[in-house]
A and B are shown apart, each in its own frame.
Chain A
Amino acid sequence: MKAAPLLSVENLTVRFPGATNWFGQVTSQVHAVNNVDLCVLPGESLGIVGESGCGKSTLVQAVIGLVRLTSGRVLVDGHDFAGANGTLKRDLRQKMQIVFQDPQSSLDPRLPVWRLITEPLHIRGGMPAAALRARAEELAVSVGLRSDQLDRLPHEFSGGQRQRIAIARALSTDPELLILDEPTSALDVSVQAQIINLLLKLQRELGLSYLFISHDVSLVRHFCDRVAVMYLGQIVETGPAEAVFDDPAHPYTRTLLASVPSLENSLPDVDASLTGELPNNRRLPAGCYYRERCRSAVPGCELPQALLAVPKANAESAPRHQARCCLHMPA
């Protein structure tokens, strides 16, 4: 019944050297991503929510191969992505493409649109220019650009159109999974709506899977089937979008949801959980990472927390909704 995951991340950890001594030895490390497990099934959207510094961008870069993994594995279609090379690597690359946050910087300002869109194919090689152009035209139309715009340069387009170009580029290799790294946060709301609608339409038509990274909780709730909430490089809560957002189990998720600006709610009261600083990720806290800012911290929080199923009256979604908080665990 359960389909094989398209992407699965197993126990992924990324550390950067934080400081070095005079001899070039690393004396402290930045713990960017700590033991993250996640998987994306065919046709589903997994959202990763978290604030700046929570490690969501590093996680994405590690998955796509821009950052070296410290430990753990990234499997694409069951094959180890980081360890692959040759034609296997090439084939795996085709399956997974990325759309970056700011289309202004993710498109080379000196290349015309058709070259930008077909860059992954151009790099792969073996296609004549005429075929690349024809493919570019086809892709441009599918994301809502006009075919007479193919010879223009990126600066002649608005932000939303540029992001369409970036999406067309990601689609050029017929991928099965798109990684969307804050794809609309550089855009205005009305344009954001256009891009989100386009992505939803593409998903319906092409059966794409999405790994959607965002700090915008209401957008993730709208867009994703499942979500993972990250805090300090760790997944603190994960589950179906409605379960996590309507009935958050982790205190951090609750604070996050309460802070989301909304047309209906008034401002939340300010307390320590809002004013405190994010702990330093050079030295990880013992026990629960959120303990120092947590309003409901109790004895027991100083022990390491495991990601465990949240007990639910509704047994159906119970095993899939997990949180890393001892308050919810049967003693």
Chain B
Amino acid sequence: MVAINPEDQSAAGRVPKRSRLHFLWYLTRRSPLTLVGLLIITLLVIMIVGAPFIAPYDPNKVMLSARLMPPSAAHWFGTDEVGRDLFSRVIYGSRASCGAAFMIVLISMSIGVFLGCLSGIVGGVFDSAMMRIMDVVLALPALVLAMALAAALGPSLFNSMLAVAIVRIPAYVRLARGQTLSLRERVFVKASRTFGASNLYILRWHMLPNALSPLIVQATLDLGGIVLIAAALSFIGLGAQPPTAEWGALVSSGRSFILDQWWYGTFPGLAILVTAMGCNLLGDGIRDMLDPRLGTR
């Protein structure tokens, strides 16, 4: 059965090194969708970093003479009810929307991985208690928790981020715990124990490095969903507050004009859609590439 796996045959000899360009070419041929995802995310990053250089107008500059203008050469995505350029607002909105999503993933991932590894290594009652707590957290809907937090602490982007981050923690706890449990049975971890290694040593040198790649895949896939949730929170008024440019908030204000000024809600909505899709495509692609059965590259 070994022979069917083309990788095995190259294992004995050295695989020749190929250039980055070759990698891109291979990606185009084997998985064009991953390439599309990569492209979207790259564009997004450029947008976030270079917003002041790309945006033709100040996103908050009111121009009452140019209210609710349809898309044109001067205003690619048109203007809103006070004459702000929508294209610029969408560009700047990527900072609020994606920045929030990124922070949420970072917070929930670091807390989740810490608790998950701890749970997997310590085991016993601690582990059981942790998993039950996570079950409870998992049962909380993100939007409801966000509303509760908003009611208690006042609506703000930070509060809604906190709510989403809390709800996302269990996914990472479970993943990290599962990784820890399976790695604990791996022979190289057992070998390390026979050399007298402590739990901390094994966690630092064997578990974290090996558990990282599935976690990164999970994070990339999560990012898309969180962009959607963050936008949804802003849409119902629990996230970014005006006049901050944020995609969800833009769609929300564009809603009242949807019949006559279609462009107002459509373009920010498309931005959300494309971003979420890009994250998912890239995440799927990375997962496939890391899957040893599909080859290591």
* Chain A interface residues (CB < 8 Å from chain B): 64-66, 89-90, 93, 97-98, 100, 102, 105-111, 119-120, 123-124, 155-156, 158-159, 169
Contacts and interface: CB of A to CB of B under 8 A. Distances in A.
B192 interface: yes
B205 A108 contact: yes
A120 B186 contact: no
Contacts of A158: 11-12
A123 B187 contact: no
Given A108-B205, A123-B201, A155-B296, A66 B210 contact: no
Contacts of A93: 194-196
B188 interface: yes
B123 to A, nearest CB: 15
A152 B259 CA distance: 63
Given A108-B206, A108-B210, A158-B11, A64 B194 contact: yes
Contact of A119 (B12, B190, B195, B210): B195
Interface in B102-135: none
A111 B192 CA distance: 13
B237 to A, nearest CB: 46
Interface in B139-181: none
A106 B195 contact: no
Nearest to A156: B14
Contacts of B194: 64-66, 93, 97-98
B187 A102 contact: yes
Given A66-B193, A89-B196, A93-B196, A105 B201 contact: no
Nearest to B296: A155
A105 B296 CA distance: 16
Contact of A106 (B14, B187, B210, B296): B187
A107 B197 contact: no
A105 B197 contact: no
A114 to B, nearest CB: 14
B186 A105 contact: yes
B196 A109 contact: no
Nearest to B194: A64
Given A66-B194, A98-B194, A155-B296, A111 B205 contact: yes
B191 interface: yes
A124 B192 CA distance: 11
B6 interface: no
A225 to B, nearest CB: 25
A100 B196 contact: no
Given A93-B194, A159-B11, 10 more contacts: A66-B193, A89-B196, A106-B187, A106-B188, A108-B192, A108-B210, A110-B209, A123-B195, A156-B14, A169-B191
Interface string B196-239: 11000100011001100000000000000000000000000000
Most interface-central of A64, A66, A110, A155 (chain B CB within 10 A): A110
B180 to A, nearest CB: 15
Interface string B47-87: 00000000000000000000000000000000000000000
B64 to A, nearest CB: 60
Nearest to B190: A66
Nearest to A98: B194
B193 A109 contact: no
Contacts of B209: 108, 110-111
A123 B192 contact: yes
B195 A120 contact: yes
A109 B290 CA distance: 13
Contacts of B14: 156
Most interface-central of B11, B186, B188, B192 (chain A CB within 10 A): B188
Contacts of A100: 187, 190-191
Which 8 pairs across A and B sit closest by C-beta, in order of nearness?
A: A120-B195, A105-B187, A106-B187, A110-B209, A158-B12, A108-B188, A123-B197, A123-B195
A111 B195 CA distance: 16
Contacts of A110: 209-210
Contacts of A65: 193-194
B179 to A, nearest CB: 13
Contacts of B205: 108, 111
A124 B196 CA distance: 8
Nearest to A115: B205
Given A156-B14, A158-B11, A106 B191 contact: yes
Interface string B26-44: 0000000000000000000
Contact of A98 (B186, B191, B201): B191
